[in-house]
Structure 1
Amino acid sequence: MRYLFVLSFLCCALSSIAQYSNPPIIRTEQINIARDSFGVPHIFAPTDPEVAYGLAWAHAEDDFATMQILILTGKGKVATHLGKKGAPIDFVFGLLNTKATAIAQMNQFDPKFIQLLKGYLLGLEAYAKAHPEKVLNKHVFPITIEEYLASAAFSVAIFCGVDKALPKILNGTIPKLEGFTGEGSNAFAINAKKSTSDETMLVINAHQPIEGPTAFYEAHLQSDEGWNILGGLFPGAPMIFHGVTPNLAWAHTVNFQDKIDIYQLETSKSHPGEYKVDGNWLKLEKRKIKLSIKGIPFPIYKTAYQSIYGPTVATPKGEFFSMRLPALMDAGALQQWYAMNKATNFTSFKAALEQNHLPMFNIMYADKADTIFYISNGKMPYRNKDTSFHWSSTLPGNTRATLWNEFKPLSALPQMLNPKSGYLFNANHSPFLASSESDNLNPKDFDVNDGYETYHDNRSRRAKDLIDQLDKISYEDIKRIKFDRQLPNPILFPYGFTADTMFMVDENKYPQLASIITTLKNWDYNAVAESKGALIYNLAYYNVPLVMEGRKNDKLTMAEAVKVYQIIYDFLQTNYGRTDLTLGEVQRLVRGKESWPQGGM
């Protein structure tokens, strides 16, 4: 390891703390940042705020620009750096108004958590003062606690589906295509009952970008106050999001229960600026959002609306839709992650989960006491059970019968503790298919309005097949399962779409498409980089839902299958000039001037 002792910028830290009341003591001479041969920072300091200070400094050395974009997000000032490209981000930030939530809840946070945040922000500001040439613009610093929490809450809300719902509202395609997404992750927990070595094993295999605001950054954090964890975090985060401590470990995967509700308001030209609820006309609140855009010498103002249901937008046709999601009502996700970081056993870890600040993510857990645990986590509201309301589609925004305000306890969520099978797994599939058939939960025991997934996907089906082949699982077995690229037969298309028709098209009827049709038909379902069939399937996988226009519980027609093939043919001809390519020729890992073929999907 090479060691970096942060000594020389004490004056920078001290000059920054005036903006925070009751700032933590930061002794930079006692903060050690050690980087291993991979460049991963290992940060040691006496207190948690000092470790957070060191994390901010180390991460800024590696990705300061991305971290500053996230800071600007919490100020509604992204466009001051990115120009017009950043203006939509600033508008949506103003629309969701997460800063108001953060301000309203400030007094509810644990003082130790607030001190941690202050330590982290002091580290960022100290780095900025030491490297002024790297600061993006004058709007980045200083940053307040409220702005920082607002940025974090905004990011969580985007993860919960705002990014998909808003465009569909504005371009008129609501109801939205529920459940179709490109996110994917895997997690496996094996206890001694299923292990050849009587050891407990956890696989953390998140699928995230390799750069940008949701790219994982690896770090090891250790204080003298019991904080000792190695794992991954996103740029701008003051703690680990998932990883391993000396006592326990957990993994996150994305889950797809219903995290957001969309309401259409009842309006009338005879009642301008109002909407009707339970027979009464209510004023539609509105406020101006100031957008400061790089390259434009004057501010631009956009109108945001608010109904009793939540943030509201107007379509080009003059219709109004509101969004309501738990993520906008709680700015405490980071506090819960901090408590998870500090947990020492299952009891304290579960107590952290019971804070109920985190509105999403599957959690796969294992510890040195041979405990394994899985939960489809979420901040789930009590929704009206009246079957006339279709919670997965657009809801009537003219009745308080669709307005929810209370949330279910952790105990009401799908979860499994130490199943008899000795294993748990999740690959973004159903929480009711997390273990053996005899151990699995019954979906009928849970509220259908929560919208939990009920399906397998290709990764989960293949993982289940591999696990079931083994009475006991070794460390080598679990690595083989994790890196396996074979897909199941019959193969699945995204999240329940039935597209077997892709394999039934008669290539003789379509000479231009014949080669790609036969390539898919002859594929061995192995997603290695050298496979041509894997490429055709990969492209079909993402185009089938678009061609089916969001239909569910329906089959791809023969005409639609031909259309998918035509889209694939046109894409390959336009971008590569030929169609006989392998997966690795199209799917590549690019870093600077280096480019490598990649298998898997």
Structure 2
Amino acid sequence: MRRLLRVIILSGIVFAALLLVVAGTGVFVVRHSIPGYGGTVELTGLDADVEVVRDGNGIPQIYADKPGDLFAAQGYVHAQDRFFEMDFRRHVTSGRLAELFGKDALETDKFVRTLGWRRVAEQELGLLTPSTRQYLEDYARGVNAYLSTHAGSGLSLEYAVLSLKDLGGSDYRPEPWTAADSLAWLKAMAWDLGGNMDDEITRTKLAAKYPVSNIESLYPDYPYDRNEPIIATAAVTKGGTFTTATPVDEEARRGMLTKDLLKSLDTVDKVAKGLPELLGRGDGIGSNAWVVSGDHTTTGKPLLANDPHLGATMPGVWTQVGLHCNNVGTNCPYDVSGFSFSGLPGVVIGHNGSISWGFTNLNPDVMDLYLEKFSGPDAVVYDNKVRALSKREETFKVAGQDNEEKITVRESRHGPIISDVGDDERETGELAATRLKSTEAYGVALQWTALTPGRTADALFAINRAQNWKEFRAAASLFEVPSQNLVYADREGHIGYQAPGRVPIRNVGDGDWPVPGWDARYRWTGYVPFEAMPTEADPDDGVIVTANQAVVPETYPYHLTDDWDYGYRSQQILDRIRAAGKLDANAMASIQLDTKNRNAEVLVPYLLQVQINDEFDRQGQDTLRNWDFTQPADSAPAAYFNVVWRNLLELTFRDQLPESAWPDGGSRWFEVMRKLIMQPNSTWWDNLNTTQRESRDDILREALVNARSEITTKMAREPSNWQWGRLHKLTLTNQTLGKSGIGAVDKLFNRGPYELGGGSSLVDATSWNAAEDYTVTSAPSMRMVVDLSDFDKSRWINLTGISGHAFSSNYTDQTELWARGETLPWAFTRGAVEAKREHTQTFTKPEN
């Protein structure tokens, strides 16, 4: 269930926003919230003055004597630029959207409250080090200083729109920011980046109709023979530490794998005999990150690249910042620059004066669904005993209505009973009851690592301070959720990889299917020790590539997940690096823009073999001849192939799969089709809606012909006028008021469309959903290349801009550059920052 950031807009808000536009209450309201970046600001609690230097893109570089002053100023700056986004996020994470947007948001609120993100965040505060807690409080102090002098339309245009209708309310004033508000956003990111709950639910629905063997054919094994894992060899020593050494006892290793395989088969057998299992996994958000040693560079020092692929929102998910102690040392150890989240202090991805790091999603299976057998409304059965459920009441204020609404949240030992509030989860329990011939639906509980309080916030500050590989790994050991692939490089020439995170060890099963919560054998027995998590330092070949592919080979004894990306992006990056010779920052950036479609490379030879008699239809097929399989925005063959691909998936699977499981066209479907294309008489090719039996070539021919008709209707009759970017467009959409459906209102907050190249599961990952249309759904949310020989030669770019204010000059000032594949110089040293200075703002202590 990815409904959590879904925009909920009532018609009343839309109408009010339209009035704002039509009435033109004018330029003042529209521009009232745009902050000035100069002058002097009093900020309570400072030890000394703080200077904020901004360049023409509004990117702030903050200079202070003490860490507390740095983070207080960062809080103020984030509030200046993006407070509405921060306020919206905290309403999401605390299950309070209905307070702003009315009853239509209540379902989302109930689900979030049932999970208890905010409750967990509040519990985490007590686990953090005193310094981390203080930094969070300092940051909140800075945010609240801005709130003390700004309100309503002076904070953001969105508040002006809300104030015109009695929903968010004309008297709405944001409450003070707190440390827990910052921590709660980490839960939202953990939700978005972790677990396979959706896959389990889909598997269950499909298992009610299909045998498990049919389901598994849609989830191919990872192709280790073609697409390399991040670490080529992997084992755990008798002492419990990870090693890349090849295991000596091959017979023992094979015996272990056989045992594990049998255990997996036993679990699948239990599923096939009655449990309502889930099936279906769409390719989600991902990322690219890689690092090369000095052996591969023109400078003899490492280069590190990263481009996280996230939802394309307005404003973008990242904001750029530099945090600099005037005198770096024990008392003030921060000199760091990079990308952060508004609402969270520090830098999430970037570099300091000694090291650089990047993230991609490890995506281990850290969520399990447990079917709970109720014994009355207040208890469940576990280990042959009746166990009481814990219960709590949640109350919701709803804009536009006087009465509050309430729910009772029930929790088992495994976690919250999510079937009480989620339609998909409730259906999962009902399907389970049907298959197990039960007269009562099972409840469905979610066990998830992020619902256990942890110390990820400590890890972020420790990474910002780390000066070498040892300190970086020590910081990573605190990073619990969401589990990420961390790539590393330092100025001494070292490179590395570390997988941190809390990954469960299951007593029985592998987490792919829901399990009986009443059976104690399916419990989690602990977590993979950090010492045993995959890691590598200074590999012999001097290259580490992470792009959500398999992390380790099958020799690794712990189960991380079966839901890897299938490695088409990672292998293309590896191939480009190996063919490149010596790399510089520009060459690294060019790899980020690679648009080769390795799926097309497999399928086009089969498409060209199909006999098409009609000359008009054959013109489309002919565009694929001599194609180099790249997908720039102006490519005609790319346009035609992707229309064929969408039609091919529709013709092959939609007659046999429910709508919720229709192919999205990502890397899993690349691999499914790669195998299926070699089975010309598979039952998947047969169209159940016709009387005849179709084969592979029948469906390929129909896809080619249908695509010719579709692209002609959508674009042009002549293939020379086809362009992929005219179909594949990105509209940056405001998460709240940007989906009104009224053009004048949408134009206030949204930007685009932008015609793009790239595509799903390509290195330039401008993803689209083949179950819907060709619209870009996620994209590289930023791009960076860090040059460890000279940080000032590094490059960066944001998807949108620094500002969240719709008519600020920095709202989308980086987007056109991003769309063209260009980047900005990344000034780090004081001299480089001074050379780009355009605005200066000074924070000072109040005189009293």
TM class by shorter chain equals: 0.7 to 0.9
In structure 1, give the amino acid aligned to 2:607.
F
Rate the CA distance shift 1:78–1:537 in 2: closer, same or farther, 3 A: farther
**Counterpart selection for 1:290 from 390, 395, 411:** 395
**Counterpart selection for 1:240 from 347, 350, 360:** 347
Matched length: 565
In structure 1, give the amino acid aligned to 2:190.
V
Whole-angstrom distance in 2 between the partners of 1:420 and 1:83? 58
Whole-angstrom distance in 1 between the partners of 2:294 and 2:492? 10
Give the Å deviation of 1:242. Answer: 0.5
Rate the CA distance shift 1:126–1:366 in 2: closer, same or farther, 3 A: same
Q: Give the structure 2 partner of residue 321 of structure 1.
A: 444
Q: Which deviates more, 203-212 or 184-193?
A: 203-212
Q: Give the structure 2 partner of residue 525 of structure 1.
A: 629
**Counterpart selection for 1:141 from 175, 184, 196:** 175
**Counterpart selection for 1:258 from 365, 373, 383:** 365
Rate the CA distance shift 1:573–1:313 in 2: closer, same or farther, 3 A: farther
Give the Å deviation of 1:424. Answer: 0.8
* SS in structure 2 at match of 1:600: coil
Give the Å deviation of 1:353. Answer: 0.8
Rate the CA distance shift 1:170–1:402 in 2: closer, same or farther, 3 A: closer
Q: Give the structure 1 partner of residue 67 of structure 2.
A: 48
Structure 2 residue 304 is matched with structure 1 residue 208: no
* SS in structure 2 at match of 1:7: strand
**Counterpart selection for 1:555 from 647, 653, 676:** 676
* SS in structure 2 at match of 1:90: helix
Give matches, 1:4-403, under 5 Å.
Answer: 4=37, 7-10=40-43, 14=44, 25-27=45-47, 30-134=49-153, 136=159, 138=172, 140-161=174-195, 164=198, 175-177=277-279, 180-212=282-314, 215-224=317-326, 225-267=332-374, 271-314=376-419, 315-316=426-427, 317=430, 318-384=441-507, 386=508, 389-403=509-523
Contact residue 189 and residue 482 of structure 2 kept, 8 A: no
Give the Å deviation of 1:590. Answer: 4.4
Give the Å deviation of 1:80. Answer: 1.3
Structure 2 residue 614 is matched with structure 1 residue 473: no
Q: Deviations over 1:522-568 (max 9, x none)?
A: 74311110123323554676784974746986637434756877997
Rate the CA distance shift 1:574–1:390 in 2: closer, same or farther, 3 A: farther
In structure 1, give the amino acid aligned to 2:139.
Y
Name the % identity. Answer: 21
Q: Give the structure 2 partner of residue 21 of structure 1.
A: none
Whole-angstrom distance in 2 between the partners of 1:510 and 1:280? 70
Q: Deviations over 1:427-459 (max 9, x none)?
A: 221223xxxxxxxxx431232x32155664332
* SS in structure 2 at match of 1:130: coil
* SS in structure 2 at match of 1:155: helix
Contact residue 595 and residue 758 of structure 2 kept, 8 A: yes
**Counterpart selection for 1:430 from 530, 541, 550:** 550
In structure 1, give the amino acid aligned to 2:288.
N
Contact residue 193 and residue 482 of structure 2 kept, 8 A: no
Whole-angstrom distance in 2 between the partners of 1:373 and 1:571? 48
Give the Å deviation of 1:486. Answer: 2.4
Give the Å deviation of 1:74. Answer: 4.1
Give the Å deviation of 1:367. Answer: 0.6
Contact residue 153 and residue 331 of structure 1 kept, 8 A: no
Rate the CA distance shift 1:82–1:327 in 2: closer, same or farther, 3 A: same
Q: Which deviates more, 356-365 or 580-589?
A: 580-589
Rate the CA distance shift 1:390–1:247 in 2: closer, same or farther, 3 A: closer
Contact residue 78 and residue 86 of structure 1 kept, 8 A: yes
Rate the CA distance shift 1:453–1:365 in 2: closer, same or farther, 3 A: farther
* SS in structure 2 at match of 1:76: coil
* SS in structure 2 at match of 1:365: strand
Q: Which deviates more, 552-561 or 184-193?
A: 552-561
Contact residue 187 and residue 450 of structure 2 kept, 8 A: yes
Contact residue 480 and residue 500 of structure 2 kept, 8 A: no
Rate the CA distance shift 1:319–1:212 in 2: closer, same or farther, 3 A: farther
Runs of 5+ consecutive residues of structure 1 not aligned to the other structure: 15-24, 433-441, 493-498
Contact residue 71 and residue 140 of structure 1 kept, 8 A: no
In structure 1, give the amino acid aligned to 2:455.
G
* SS in structure 1 at match of 2:612: helix
Give matches, 1:452-471, under 5 Å.
Answer: 456-471=566-581
Contact residue 359 and residue 380 of structure 1 kept, 8 A: no
Give the Å deviation of 1:594. Answer: 5.2
Whole-angstrom distance in 1 between the partners of 2:140 and 2:713? 48
Q: Give the structure 1 partner of residue 233 of structure 2.
A: none
Q: Give the structure 2 partner of residue 445 of structure 1.
A: 556
Contact residue 101 and residue 329 of structure 1 kept, 8 A: yes
Which is higher, the Rg of structure 1 or of structure 2? 2
Q: Give the structure 1 partner of residue 729 of structure 2.
A: 588
* SS in structure 1 at match of 2:284: coil
Contact residue 363 and residue 564 of structure 2 kept, 8 A: no
Contact residue 3 and residue 34 of structure 1 kept, 8 A: no
Rate the CA distance shift 1:9–1:511 in 2: closer, same or farther, 3 A: farther
Structure 2 residue 595 is matched with structure 1 residue 485: yes
Rate the CA distance shift 1:40–1:569 in 2: closer, same or farther, 3 A: farther
TM-score, normalising length from structure 2?
0.60
In structure 2, give the amino acid aligned to 1:183.
I
Rate the CA distance shift 1:175–1:63 in 2: closer, same or farther, 3 A: farther
Q: Deviations over 1:59-95 (max 9, x none)?
A: 2222221111122234432221122443233222211
Please provide the CA RMSD for this pair.
Answer: 3.6
Whole-angstrom distance in 1 between the partners of 2:140 and 2:478? 24
Contact residue 32 and residue 43 of structure 1 kept, 8 A: yes
Contact residue 67 and residue 235 of structure 1 kept, 8 A: yes
Whole-angstrom distance in 1 between the partners of 2:384 and 2:715? 60
Give the Å deviation of 1:9. Answer: 3.9
* SS in structure 1 at match of 2:40: coil
**Counterpart selection for 1:413 from 528, 533, 555:** 533
Give the Å deviation of 1:115. Answer: 0.9
* SS in structure 2 at match of 1:8: strand
Q: Deviations over 1:106-164 (max 9, x none)?
A: 32211111111111111111112211124546473123333442343243234324884
In structure 1, give the amino acid aligned to 2:557.
F
Give the Å deviation of 1:56. Answer: 2.0
Contact residue 150 and residue 331 of structure 1 kept, 8 A: no
Whole-angstrom distance in 2 between the partners of 1:156 and 1:85? 25
Contact residue 98 and residue 331 of structure 1 kept, 8 A: no
Give the Å deviation of 1:189. Answer: 0.6
Whole-angstrom distance in 2 between the partners of 1:214 and 1:594? 13
Give the Å deviation of 1:216. Answer: 1.4
Rate the CA distance shift 1:510–1:367 in 2: closer, same or farther, 3 A: farther
Rate the CA distance shift 1:467–1:307 in 2: closer, same or farther, 3 A: same
Whole-angstrom distance in 1 between the partners of 2:617 and 2:385? 59
* SS in structure 1 at match of 2:570: helix
Whole-angstrom distance in 1 between the partners of 2:511 and 2:147? 46
Rate the CA distance shift 1:323–1:469 in 2: closer, same or farther, 3 A: same
